[in-house]
Every structure is written in C-alpha cells, then in structure tokens.
Chain A
Amino acid sequence: MAGLNRRDFLRALGLTSGTSVVAACGFDQNYYPTPIETVLPYVVRPEQIIPGNPVFFATTVTTGPAAFPVLARHREGRVVNAGSNPQAPLPPAIPKAALLELQRAYSPDRLKVPSAGGADTTWDDALSKVADAVKSARAAGKKVAWLGGYRSGAIVELVNAFTNNEAVFFEPLGRDAEVEAAERVFGKRFLPAYDLSKARHVLSFGADFLTNWGSVTLASQYASARNPNAGGFVARFGFVGPHRGQTGANADDWYAATPGSEALVALAVAKIVASSLGYSGPLSGTLAAFDVASAIAASGLTQAQLDEMAKLFAAGPAVALPGGTVGATKAATDLATATYILNLVGGNGGVTFGVGPSYSGPIHSYARVEQLIADMAAGTVGVLLVDDPSNPVYALPAASGFAEALAKVDTFVSLSSFTSETSANAKIILPVASLYEDWGDEEPQDGLFLLRQPAMSPLYDGRSVGDVLLATARAAGLPDPAAIANVAADAGVPVAVAPIAPVAPVAAAPTAIGFTPATWLDFVKARWQRDVFPKSGEADFRKFWDRSLSLGAADFRPALAAPEVTATPSASAAATFDGPGEYYLIAYSHAFRMDGRYANEPWAQEASDPMTGQVWDTWLEINPATADKLGLKDNDLVEVTTAQGAMQLGVERTPHVREDAVAIAFGNGRTASGRYAGDVGQNVVKLLAAAKDGAGCLAWQSSKASLKAVGARASLVSTFGGDTDEQRGFGVVVDAGQLAQYGDTPSDKPGKLTHLEYPKLDKRLTDAGINDWYGLTEHPTYRFGMTVDVNACNGCGACAIACYAENNLPIVGKTNVGEGREMAWIRVARYEADYAAPNRPEATLTKDVRFVPMMCQQCGHAPCESVCPVLATYHTIDGLNAMIYNRCVGTRYCANNCPYGARRFNWHTYVWPEPFNLLLNPDASARTMGVMEKCTFCVQRIRSTKSAYRTHSIENGNGFIAPVPDDALRRLTACADACPTEAITFGNLNDAASKPAATRKSARHYELLADLNVFPAVNYLGKASFHPPEHAAHGAEGAEHAEGGHEPAPSEHH
C-alpha cells in the first residue's frame, strides 16, 4: 500500500466495492460496473409534456365548505406536489388538505379494485350490482340515500337527482349550527361570509378560524388585519372558550368563560355594544329581554371583562365568529345566533359579516342524520351510499345507533378508496378517483366557481363519483329529472329528454341536467354552461370554459352585504354538561388529522402538533393546577371516565385549558384503517354523548369527565423542548399600540418604535477589538435570505408538511421521533411568556404565545461549515449553506455545532413503500443512512428558477446574465408557498426591493442568537402584542427587563 495516497485509496475502495455490489446483485461483473438502465420513450408524447419539465394544472381541493384552488405539479405522468395558484381570485396558499389529499392519493393502503360481498370484482360487475340494488329499492318503494360531507357545485345536483333528494350532507365537526342560526334570524339557510381583513377586533367564540374552521383565506385576512403596514392598525383578537388550541393561542385576550355560557356572553356583549352605539334595529327586542347579570353569573367573567370586550367591539369594524369547540355545545345554534346579533348591532353587517360571498351549499344538521338512521333502522332504506371521507361508524357517538342501523340497509355502498370503520361493513366498495384524478367543481362562496381537473391519470382504475352515479342511474332506469322538469314545463305533454344545447346561454329558469350527459365531465360542463357561463356575458362557452379551466376559477362574487333580519330570535340559556365527573370534557378538531379523515396520512401523524408537539398519539390536556391536585406529571397515564365510556391517556400539562376542564383532540383511535392510523391513540368520540342542541345540531361538548391517575407512565412523544425560549430572544414581541400608531419604521423620536436592540457581536470580541474571526464571504449576485414574520405566523404547520412533500423527508415513526431522530427540516416552535391579564377576577397570569418557524438559518459564518472534516457543507456564492450529501461521511460534528438545531441525521435508510415512491420529488435527492441533511432553501427550486430566467433572457436576446426578480423569489420555497399569511417570504438580500432586505430596516427586525456572530440569513419580525413585557418595544432601555423578549448583551456565551 506504500505510495498510495488517500484519494487513490478511496477511489480503489470505491471501485472494488462497486464491483462486488454489482456481483452480489446479479449484474454481469465482466460487463460494466454500473447497472444499465432501460429508458422508455413515449410512444406518442402527450402534447403538454416535455420529459424533465414540470407541468402545472390548476385544480381545486375540498375540505367541507373550504374548497381552495391550487396548482398540481405534474412530472412525467404523476402529481408530485401541490403549490399555490397565483392566478386564482383568492390569496395564495396551500391548504394542508391539498398536501394531505396528495399523500392520500399515493397511499399504499388505497384500495385498487372494487369489491362486492367482500370479494374483489370488476367495475362493470360492481356497478351493475349497484344498479340492480337501486332498481329493486325503487321497485320496493325503498329509499336510495346518500350520506357524505359538505359538497358544493355540480355533484350536489347529481346526488340529489340520484337519491330523489334523500341526500344528507353532514360533517361531524361541521357548521350546521351556523346554518340553523341563519335560518332562524335571516330566514335562509346559508353560511355567512366574513371579511377579517377589515376587522380591528376579532372576537372568536371558539371558532378555530386559523385551524379548520372555514377557508384558509380567513388566515390570510387575519394576517392582513394584524399587519401594521397594511391598514395602519393591528387587529386585536379575543378568544372566548375553555381551551386554547392553535387558533386560540394566537389570541391577545383569552376569556375562559364557563363552558356552555358563551352564547350568553355574546348576548351580553351585544347588549352593552347596542346601548353604547344607541342601536335601535330589529334585534333590540331580543336584547331588551336579556339580562347581562345572567351572563356574568353563568360565565364567571366579570362585568369589567364584558365591558372591555364590548368597548373593543363597538370601537370599529369588528367581527364575532362562532364555531369550534364552543360552537358544539347544547347551545350551539343559540351561540351562532348571538354572534350574528352581536355582529349586526355592532354595525358590522356588510363590513366584516354578511351575505353575498357566503356559502349556500347544502349543510344538514345532525337531526337529518338521525332521521336517516331511523329510516335505516326501520328498513326503509334500500341503498345507502356513503361518500369518502365520511366515516360515520367511527365519527358518530355509538349511541346514535348508526352501526346497528347500517345492518338493516339492504345494500350499503361505500365510495371510499380506503378501508375504514364504515366501509368495512359495506356490501359494495367502489374505490373512487382521488381529488387529483377527478373532474369536478366547487362553489366555496356564492359566485366563486372553482374547477377541478385531473392532474394525472388514475393511479389505479378509480372512477369519478359522478361517473358512478350517472352510469348507475342510467343502468337502473331512474326517472330522469331533466325529463320530469320538461314534462312539468310543458303542462303534461311528454317531451323527449333533450341534451343541453351546445350553443347560446340557457334561459334564466334553470332546467335540470339529468342523467343524459355521457360522462361526469359532460355533466360539469353542462352545469357550467347553465349556471356560470351566463354570468360572464361572453359569447363562446368553449373559450370561457378553457380559460376557467386553466385559471382554475371564475369569479362573480357579489359584494358583502348586511343580511336582512326576518325574525327576532329569543334569548338563550346556558348549555349544560352532563355526567358524573367534575371536569368539562372538551374535544377539539386536530390541526392535521381534523375529524380523523387524515389519520392514515403519515404526514398528519408525524408533523408535530402545533400546541403540544405531540406526534403519533392522543393525549389529555390538563391545566397544571389541576394536574398538581391530582398528582399528575407530564406523560403520566390518567383514566378519563364519562357516562359513555372510559379510556387511558397520557397527560400533557398546559395552561391553555381551564382548571375545571380537560381537552382531547379528535382524529385518532381508528380501529379499521390503513397501516399508519392503526393502533395510534384513542378515539375521543367514545367518551362523548349523542346530545343535541335545540335545533338538532350535534353537541359534542356536553359531557363531564372524571379523572383518576393510573399510576403508570404513558408513551407520549413530543418534539418540543419546553414552553419558553429561556430568554434567548427567539419569540420577540413589540408593542402593538405603538406599531399601529407609527408603523414599524424605526425612529429616534420619543414614543415611536426604535430598532430592537439585540447584541450583534459577542461582547468579549468587541471589547478585545475583534469584530470578525474570518472575513465574510462575498456574495456578488445573490445572498438568499428569508423573512419570518412572527406576527403573521399563526402556527398552522402547513409549511412543515409542504417541506415534507418537497424535500423527500422520510417518515421515521414515533419511536425514532422519541429518540430525537425526526427529519422535519422546518419546525414551528411555540414559545410562551406570562402576562398579567387585566380585568381578570383574580390576578391570574395567562400566556402570550408566539409561533416561530425555525429552519436552517443559512448563516454567513456558519458554525457547521468550519467543523466539517470533508467539506460536505460549505458556503456557496449565493449565500447558502450547501449540504452535499454524497460527500458527507456522517461525523455529525456539524449538527453538534449548529446553535439552531436545524440539522437532521439519517440514522437509517428509509424506503418509501409503493406507491409512495411515486410522490418523491425527482428534483431532490432521497438521502440514505449516515448522511446529514437540513433545509436547503429548496435549492432545486432556486436552480430551476434561475435556469428559467436565463433561458428567457437568452431567447429574448438579452444575454446570459439574467437576475431572478423579486416577484419570482417571494414564494419560491415550499414553506413560503404554502404559507397563507406571508409569514415566510424568500428573497435576495442583495436586492433592496426584496422583503428580506427591507425587513432588516424594520423596527420589529431581530435575528436569532445574533450575539453568536453567525450572521443568519433569516430575519425575524417581532410579534405585535397588546401585553408586551414592559418597554419591550423600546429597545435598549427595556432590554434589562425583557421577559421572553430579547436579552441584553450576555456576559457569558452560549
């Protein structure tokens, strides 16, 4: 070996081992040392596709009434990611559902073929069986019923025609109470529209509008109302409810009223607002009959707190939102009614609240489901179709009797492509196409029409629900509603069913489309031609359709208007909680798993819960004071018992729940599901009663529970290290009042905000006259950087999931996360600080929460770089900390030396189970064991964007030097693109017009651990707080007293 240098030695090692691998794998070692790949050309290349280039399709994802336009990113026949659609008439964002639905489409648990009677069969056979069942049900005078989640657009018409209006559109964590209340007050069934961007005071009665309540647009609007530079004000957010989840944690003021009393609180505030504004409208009668003292008695809030709420509400555009946990008590409809009253007496009708761009799709209350269950139990339902992702056997309380009634249905047809508690009972399972393989349309607001188009061919032979219904209806010979409508119009003279005329807008009276369209696409087109096209005033439907399809949307929304009050509702009483226990049991919708529909999506399990950091489990949130009383520590096992059942859960101590309440998230404890949701957590529904409110809405929040320490430990795993930033200045707040008054441009004048003072250099170095150990790297073209606006971040976690999708992050599972081996490149840290809440009954402390997205800070002086023995990580000319995976030898020095904990080590080589591997992003590597990895600022996107601009410049004769403009960089990274609130903005720090560069001049600007002298490229902007620690905004003079804010120059180094 003498004379062999290190490089040659390594090369020899590589070659010889390469040869032996080939031999071991069965390749001909006498041939070539690398395996020979086969490359298959297209036989006939699809017109739009150039191999290697992505194609984007505008499409629409749906979660209840929150349908949202996205761009599906298509590469060589499959959708590999979803991005925001900048052409759509809504603020750009990627709803978490868009990504979770994408992972769902590629789930290895997806059913591939239909089954009938438990045996796999063909589509033809399954559909003819359904048609026969429908035919015989009709012949026997039995109902053909439908049970599914909220749907809008063409599918509603088809389903109603198919079932002869026996369709129930219901979601267990739905918004039926709001619709019932609208009918009560306004005489119409609709979901009111809200415009949060104008609201200076947002008062949420339990509504988790930043989590799962309503569209992700609400988060955009709220962020805009919080942005001091957008409207010259900072909206104040009051949250009324017993438990602060991710939405409630954003609140400036938490009013923890006694559970069940919230409707009274809303009425009391409305009454005080009405008297201060001199309101004398149609709702005066309701308020006159109401006694504020009853609200004080029932809620435990003080008169001063109610006055404070009312004062803020009366002061300016404000909005009250009902929903979430508070919106599902036995006074759910009363609460919604009370918030409508509050909004109207506050003069917000048509400003922040009203009709117009509201939602008019069918939303049925639980009473309608009960009626269906009764029909099923009575044997009058011949065919029941259950739509994906509805899962009533899992999601409804056992007392509803759904499971028993299901057995009495002659033919239960599941339209789910997954095994679930419900579909396991199905006689026929039709695995329908995923959202990304299907046609369809949505109307999330009246006048806003969104189109869905297939962004890839079906992975298996999944068919549209629409096609299934059309084919079945024709095969079963169902009476065509189009024929019926025409018969009625022509006074008894039968007319042959006419297909929709291909020219000229259809006249005003809508005619039913019926079952004549050959395909579901034809049906959607016919519906658009009838309902949408006439609004455009254009002449050529084909052009209109093509343009709408490419944009993904057609927008004819009316302006927001005040709804007309048609009835004076009576005042309500407090809702009760029943059961033997002493604790109110609060069950809330989980940020990722929602009502359990996404429990089998690994991203929804592995992404850490925004408030607790918990993964892969169900836990019990309990106030530390109560926990102390019961002797419970974090992760202790506790038995929760209600009148309905009992279960053992691990304890998560949190101050964000009342002392007399405990909170559990919905969404786990699936008993029949795929491989990922199986045996994960518990189903809180088992503890809940099937109670209803006065209007027939399901009252989840109506049970009391008792707690008993089990004396054992649970196995909860949280990715959070603690609740505070240990005064290291990660989550910095500034005074919202000053911000609203002066904006965040710093100034020396008294009273105005100055630059946050935070130590830029280690004091020991500056004292010694050393400003820098090394010279800074020069960045002649780009210095890529990022701005993270902590004021805009609401902790939703969409960025984390988008990063999983973009960068091929593996799912490591609970055990590995517990060992600190999670692979998330971006984590949304939650930091808390105490503040003394004014006007509290006793001087209790509550918490001010900041969500701080943390990723690699791409330091200018990166501590990771200098310790790498093989130069696998280094500083690029663009200012990035490069990480070259196949150079890395896995010493992990870099991770040990990273002050931000941004680096992740591959302890194993994870294999993407088929067909998850099809979801891998071909532009990024999939890393293997022994390699360090971290956030790259999505370098693959930087690379392709630079390339696109260079090509464009060359083609236009402008030469090879083509700087990428700021517009193309702002939402470039996956996290920035997913963010609905522009909390994450990417850009070039060398470009003064970019947000990251401009941010550095903001008075809210701070850097994380700036005193380490690592020159991070990520800028943070402080959160506007109405309870800032004393002098927090003033910089230097306040630094010594900062609580959880920035800290003074430390004498000791980190």
Chain B
Amino acid sequence: MHIVLLTAALLGGCSPGNAVTNSDAFPIAPHSLLPTVMYGDDTQIAAGAVTGKAPVQPIAFPHNRHVQLDGLDCQYCHSAARNSIHAGVPEMATCMGCHSYVLKESPEIKLLTQYWERGEPVPWKKVNDVPDFVYFSHMRHVRAGVDCLECHGQVPAMTGIRDNVPPPAPRADTDPKTWEEAAQMYGPAKGTMTREATLQMGWCLDCHAFHPSVDTNYGDKAELRRAELKDCWTCHK
C-alpha cells in the first residue's frame, strides 16, 4: 500500500501536454521516475505484460474458420513474417481479394467492405506486443523453424463472435458503417485474438536457452549460438 501511495504521489501528472520549452533545445518532458518510451502513441511500461489480454476488435474476425475450415496458412495473410521484423497485419486488399466474392452478405464482411470502399484501414487492436526497446524479428523466428503457435498460442481455435449478430443479408442503409456502430448494434467483437504468452523477458529466454531448433539448425555450433541468443543485445535496442 505504501508503494502505491508513494508512486501515485510521484506521478503527479503524466499527460504529454505540459512539456517545458527551451529556446535552443528540444523540449524537456516532465520528470518521471518510471522508465517509459515516449514516442508514437505507445507509452509503454516495461513491467505490464500479462496473459489473457483479448481486447475488443473492430471486426469479429474468426481465426478458426480461416485456419481450420479454409486451411489457410498463417503466412497467407501475415505474409511479411518471413521477410520482416513485423509479421504484418494483412493489407485490406488481401481480405478483399477473397471477400469481394466470398460471404459478401455476412454482417462482418459488409462492415469490412464499408471500410474498403472508403479507403480506410480497419483499426485493429494490437494483442501480442513488446515494448519499443525490444528488437523482435518475426523473420528470424520463422526462418529458424519456430512454429507461430509456440508464441501466439492456439490461434486456430480462436473465434470471432458477437452477442447479437444478425443473419446474412444484402447490404442495406441500416448496416453499421463503423466498428463503433457495429459494436453498439451487434455487441462487441470478441475472441479474435487472445495473448497466451507473457512475452516477458524470462519467457523469451526460456526458448533462447533451450529451444531444440537451435540444435537442429546450428549442429555443433549450437552452444555458441545459444550464447549469442542469450546476449542482451540480441533483443534489447
């Protein structure tokens, strides 16, 4: 309790608006005792990662149907995973490549189509996220043969559901135009993605120290590679 009071007192204000301005220097942020990374819209606290995080998504995207029924590979949509540090949320054109023809009358697809026609991206919520001081490369893990599910959990079983979803119907003016409207009319979209791993440092290190793919890939140099993988600068930036 003392700790909470103490930190609350130290944290008088943390809104980004009250920066001090110098005439010749960059403005100085108000002092804070916590390590924070201040750039972009991602003021992240290092110690906050928990499992079970499953925020409301704009569209009730069912991973299970795409993976189990349709048999799509993760990288069919998350195509950057092999080639970039980011796996990449698929571009809208990828969705519409199929859904211009498939399930056009589904309420979720109609919502997606509205965004597509307006040329607006769907504002997905990030679930599996690491702080900005972490260098994480999807490419390296995918290329090493780490299965997506090892970190992302049972994504093939994750459903996208809402409480009051109407049956498929042709497009009408009464259809929701934004995800906020859809959430009001159909209920919040749930279950699309849940964080199953903590993504904390100890969790990462468990694999970096013991993952069998290191032996497979590096053979007699596996110990050396493990030493490299345990180096702080492998992930910290």
Q: Which residues of chain A have a CB within 8 Å of any CB of chain B?
A: 11-18, 20-22, 24-25, 31-45, 50-53, 602, 605, 616, 675-676, 678-680, 780-781, 810-816, 874, 876-878, 880, 882, 884-887, 908-913, 916-917, 920, 923-926, 928-931, 939-940, 943, 947, 950-951, 954, 959-961
Contact = CB atoms under 8 A, between A and B. Distances in A.
Nearest to A810: B26
A40 B121 contact: yes
Contacts of B4: 16, 20
A929 B19 CA distance: 14
Interface in B115-172: 116, 119-126, 129, 131-133, 135, 137, 139-140, 143-144
Contacts of B233: 876, 880, 882, 884, 939, 943
Contacts of B15: 25
A940 B237 contact: yes
Contact of A51 (B19, B86, B123): B86
Contacts of B36: 21, 928
Contacts of B139: 947, 951
B98 interface: no
A707 to B, nearest CB: 28
Most central of A36, A43, A886, A917 by chain B CB within 10 Å? A43
Given A42-B92, A679-B23, A885-B236, A36 B231 contact: no
Interface string B3-47: 110011001011110010011111111011011111111111111
A920 B39 contact: yes
B50 interface: yes
A41 B95 CA distance: 11
Contacts of A813: 22-26
A926 B144 contact: no
Most central of B27, B50, B225 by chain A CB within 10 Å? B27
Contacts of A16: 3-4, 7
Contacts of B132: 925
Contacts of B122: 40-41
B41 A41 contact: no
A70 B11 CA distance: 46
Contact of A912 (B26, B137, B218): B26
Nearest to B43: A35
A675 B22 CA distance: 10
Contacts of B93: 42-45
A24 B45 contact: no
B71 interface: no
Given A34-B49, A41-B92, A51-B80, A961 B37 contact: no
A884 B38 contact: no
B103 interface: no
B8 to A, nearest CB: 5
8 contacts: A18-B47, A34-B49, A41-B121, A44-B91, A602-B26, A885-B236, A911-B16, A928-B37
A813 B133 CA distance: 26
Nearest to B121: A40
A660 B37 CA distance: 54
B23 to A, nearest CB: 7
Interface in B37-67: 37-50, 53, 55
Contacts of A37: 41-42, 125-126, 129
Given A32-B53, A34-B45, A52 B85 contact: yes
Nearest to B7: A17
Contact of A812 (B16, B25, B91, B140): B25
A54 to B, nearest CB: 10
A17 B46 CA distance: 11
B33 to A, nearest CB: 8
A285 to B, nearest CB: 57
A959 to B, nearest CB: 8
Contact of A939 (B46, B86, B92, B237): B237
Nearest to B4: A16
B14 A24 contact: yes
A36 B55 CA distance: 8
Given A24-B14, A928-B37, A960-B218, A36 B126 contact: yes
Contact of A41 (B14, B42, B91, B236): B91
A1014 to B, nearest CB: 20
The secondary structure that dominates the A interface is: loop
B69 interface: no
Contacts of A36: 53, 55, 125-126
Contacts of A950: 140, 143
B187 interface: no
Contact of A18 (B48, B83, B92, B119): B48
A71 to B, nearest CB: 19
Contact of B23 (A11, A44, A678, A885): A678
Given A910-B28, A920-B39, A939-B237, A882 B232 contact: yes
B96 to A, nearest CB: 9
Contacts of A25: 14-15, 43
Nearest to B132: A925
A961 B234 CA distance: 16
Nearest to B232: A884
Contact of B92 (A14, A43, A680, A929): A43
Nearest to B123: A38
Contacts of A928: 29, 32, 35-38
A926 B38 contact: yes
A928 to B, nearest CB: 6
A592 to B, nearest CB: 15
Contacts of A51: 80, 84, 86, 88
Contacts of A920: 39
A1022 B53 CA distance: 59
Nearest to B92: A43
B133 A886 contact: yes
Contacts of A34: 44-45, 48-50, 53, 129
A643 B39 CA distance: 52
Contacts of A675: 23
Interface in B178-234: 217-218, 221, 224-225, 227-228, 231-234
Contact of A911 (B19, B23, B92, B228): B19
Given A876-B231, A951-B139, A50 B80 contact: yes
Contacts of B22: 813, 815
B228 A877 contact: yes
A924 B22 CA distance: 25
Contacts of B80: 50-53
A931 B37 CA distance: 12
A676 B135 CA distance: 33
Contacts of B221: 961
A39 B124 contact: yes
B121 to A, nearest CB: 4
Contacts of A781: 224, 228
B89 interface: yes
Contacts of A951: 83, 139, 143
Contact of A43 (B24, B88, B116): B116
A814 B231 CA distance: 38
Contacts of A18: 34, 45, 47-48
A913 B27 contact: yes
A605 B26 CA distance: 13
Given A42-B91, A52-B88, A874 B7 contact: no
Given A15-B47, A951-B139, A909 B32 contact: yes
A40 to B, nearest CB: 4
Nearest to B224: A780
B31 A929 contact: yes
Contacts of A811: 24-26
Contact of B24 (A21, A41, A814, A929): A814
